[in-house]
Structures are given as structure tokens and as C-alpha cells.
């Protein structure tokens, strides 16, 4: 049977032509939301009333949305972050939730390194100077040969580490889950695992690649900034919630750290008068690290393939709420145990 698929993800609108064609060839009706996400609960409830699937931005997928949209079978995030999806509520409602964790890894790793170079060499300030008619020396610092600290080493963190080797950087990493797993051995020769305290004391650049969890939200606060070198720079392409905004602004204004480069924020977009927009020694970009053409095309394709898999009666890749398969309210045919083990 044909499904109606709502698309709220701007990246899919821009780069998902091939993915949309595949959905339409399978008989799906693909519709765009009136504006790109993130959308509110009220907006989603209005738009999802007769939809079986959504290829979503970081919209508010809550218990209320699932209850109000009984035809909805899958939330396919066009991206890696699933913070805005209430996974427990989705599982309880029988709604499958998926994401596309590998599609943007190279794009974000490239961008992270670009931010590192930009803040170290003050490239945005030099551009602003030239466009204003000026001409002067703007002093920066070397990235080559410095120490890079990675907080979190998933696909993106590893990609940043691999790029850093070309700059002869010493690479430290803190990832408690990875450090205790057999996979840690795969990183021998690439980086050195240390405690977060040790990483902050030694690193010239600290790059965040951790998810937003109860343990990590607000972890970069005044105590953490006090542990960093006054010559160190912070880069965040992970989640804005990892940083306590007021404490970062104070660290920048007081010179407690040398600078920061941010692509993600606690609330997106930050208000036009948000103090971060005026903070010194700071490079700001609008959550754009993922936005390489090749990455957005792959994200779009993978998010569409998750929907098509479910439509075909298969278990999609990258199911984020595997408890859904045991829910009595499951809104799709129940897969076998072997399928769940392979695909979730």
C-alpha cells in the first residue's frame, strides 16, 4: 500500500531529489511541511494526521504527537541527532524511530577541522577586515604540531583524529564507553585515551563529539574552563547543550580560554540578541557542519531507505528504539528475532 511521507528536513528538500524519486516510484506521496523544521508539537500534529511516515528535522516528536497521529509508523531522522524524539514514547506507541549516523561523518569532520583553523588563524576576522576596506596584520597560532583533545570518539571524532594526523598533532581522547570496550584497541597508534581532567590540562584544542545525555549536558562549565590552558581553544560541532553558555561567555571575556568556534547551540537558532553573538574571540556558524553536498545527498538517501525498508516489510537499518519491536501497539508487522538482531 502507498504511504504519505511528510518531509520537514531542509537538507532533504535541497539534496534529496533522487531519494524522493525512489519514494515516489514505490507509490509514496511525498509532501513538504510549510516551513523546514524544527517544527513544534502543534505543527506536527496538524501535518501528520494522515501520514504514515516522516523524514524529519529535529522536530518535537513527543507522546502527544504519537497519540494524535495514529497512522504514523516511522520517524526517519534525516540526520544523526535524536534528542528531539522521545524514544520511550515512540516505542510505547509502536512507532519506529531511525537515524542516519554515518552519512554526515566526513562532512562534520572536515568542518570541525575548518573551524579549528579558522579560530586559530582568525580567518573570519581577516575576511571582515578586508571587506570593510582595511588592511592590517592579524596574528594567529599554529595548529600544526599542537595537542588536540577529543571529547567523544564516534565516527566524527575518529574522522577528526585522522585529519589531525596530517598536521602532526598529538591526539588525546576521552570516551569512557569506548575506552572500556574491545574497540578501543582499534585506536592504537592514532590517539591516546586519557581522563577528561588530563585532556583539558594538556590540550591546545578541545573538540566536542559527545551526545547530549544527562551526564554530558552542561559538562563544559566554569570548572571545566578553569582546567583548560588559557591558550586553548574550544570547538563544538556536536550538541549545544554540552556547553553552559554563560560560563563560556565569561571564559571568553575574561581570557580564561583563548577562543571558541561553535556550530551548535543550546537553542537553535539562538536569539538575535543572544550574548554569544557578541562574545569576543569566537567564530559562530549556523549549524552547518553536516552541509556538504555529498553528505546531505547520502543523508537524504538513507532516511528515505529507512522508510522504504519498513514499507517493504523489512527491518530498517539504524533503529534507535529497538524496544518498539516488543510493543503490543507496534504499528507495522512484527519482525523475527533474527531480523531484529541484524538490523537494529
- Listed in sequence order, the residues at least 6 apart from 206 whose beta carbon sits closer than 8 Å to its beta carbon are 149, 151, 199, 200, 228, 232, 233, 234, 235
Which is catalytic among the residues 42, 223, 268, 294? 268
Instruction: Give dist(CA 144, CA 203) in Å, integer.
Output: 13
Closest among 212, 120, 113, 216 to 171, alpha carbons compared: 113
Distance CA(13)–CA(68), nearest Å, equals 26
Rounded to the nearest angstrom, the gap between the alpha carbon of residue 334 and the centroid of all alpha carbons in its chain is: 30
CB atoms within 10 A of CB 242: 22
d(CA 271, CA 41): 21
Q: Which of 10, 77, 158, 239 is catalytic?
A: 239
Residue from 201, 287, 314, 343 carrying the catalytic annotation: 287
Query: Does residue 25 have an active-site annotation?
Result: no
Angle at 75 between CA 67 and CA 160, to 5 degrees: 140
First-to-last CA distance in the chain?
A: 24
Per the CB < 8 A criterion, the answer to whether 281 and 248 are in contact is no
Q: What is the largest CA-CA distance in the chain?
A: 68
Cα 170 to Cα 47, 117, 150, 204, 253: the distances in Å are 50, 16, 11, 10, 28
281 annotated active-site: no
Verify cis geometry, omega within 30 degrees of 0, for the bond prior to 269.
Answer: yes
Q: How far apart (Å, rounded) are the C-alpha atoms in residues 153 and 149?
A: 10
What angle in degrees, to the nearest 10, is found between the helix axes of 155-165 and 105-121?
A: 50
Active site residue 339: no
On whether the CB atoms of residues 150 and 191 are closer than 8 A, the answer is yes
Residues with catalytic annotation? 239, 268, 287
Amino acid at each position: 500500500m502507498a504511504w504519505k511521507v511528510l518531509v520537514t528536513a531542509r537538507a532533504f528538500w535541497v539534496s534529496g531529489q533522487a531519494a524522493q524519486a525512489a519514494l515516489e516510484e514505490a507509490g509514496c506521496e511525498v509532501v513538504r511541511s510549510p516551513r523546514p523544521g524544527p517544527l513544534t508539537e502543534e505543527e506536527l500534529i496538524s501535518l501528520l494526521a494522515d501520514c504514515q511516515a516522516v523524514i524529519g528535522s529535529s522536530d518535537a516528536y513527543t507522546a502527544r504527537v504519537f497519540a494524535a497521529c495514529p497512522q504514523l509508523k516511522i520517524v526517519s531522522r534525516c540526520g544523526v541527532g535524536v534528542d528531539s524524539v522521545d524514544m520511550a514514547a515512540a516505542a510505547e506507541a509502536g512507532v519506529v524511530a531511525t537515524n542516519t549516523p554515518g552519512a554526515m561523518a566526513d562532512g562534520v569532520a572536515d568542518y570541525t577541522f575548518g573551524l579549528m583553523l579558522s579560530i586559530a588563524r582568525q580567518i573570519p576576522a581577516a575576511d571582515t577586515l578586508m571587506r570593510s576596506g582595511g588592511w592590517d596584520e592579524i596574528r594567529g597560532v599554529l595548529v600544526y604540531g599542537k595537542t588536540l583533545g577529543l571529547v567523544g570518539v564516534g565516527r566524527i571524532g575518529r574522522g577528526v583524529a585522522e585529519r589531525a594526523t596530517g598536521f602532526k598533532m598529538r591526539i588525546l581522547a576521552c570516551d569512557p564507553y569506548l575506552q572500556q570496550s574491545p574497540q578501543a584497541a582499534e585506536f592504537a597508534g592514532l590517539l591516546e585515551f586519557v581522563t577528561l581532567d588530563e585532556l583539558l590540562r594538556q590540550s591546545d584544542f578541545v573538540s566536542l563529539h559527545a551526545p547530549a545525555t544527562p551526564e554530558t549536558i552542561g559538562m563544559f562549565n566554569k570548572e571545566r574552563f578553569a582546567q583548560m590552558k588559557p591558550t586553548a581553544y574550544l570547538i563544538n560541532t556536536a550538541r549545544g547543550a554540552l556547553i553552559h553558555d554563560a560560563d563560556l561567555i565569561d571564559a571568553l571575556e575574561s581570557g580564561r580560554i583563548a577562543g571558541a568556534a561553535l556550530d551548535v547551540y543550546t537553542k537553535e537558532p539562538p536569539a538575535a540578541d543572544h550574548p554569544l553573538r557578541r562574545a569576543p574571540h569566537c567564530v559562530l556558524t549556523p549549524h552547518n557542519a553536516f552541509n556538504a553536498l555529498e553528505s546531505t545527498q547520502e543523508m537524504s538517501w538513507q532516511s528515505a531507505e529507512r522508510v522504504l525498508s519498513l514499507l517493504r516489510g523489512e527491518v530498517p537499518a539504524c533503529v534507535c528504539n529497538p524496544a518498539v519491536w516488543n510493543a503490543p501497539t507496534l504499528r507495522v508487522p512484527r519482525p523475527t528475532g533474527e531480523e531484529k538482531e541484524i538490523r537494529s
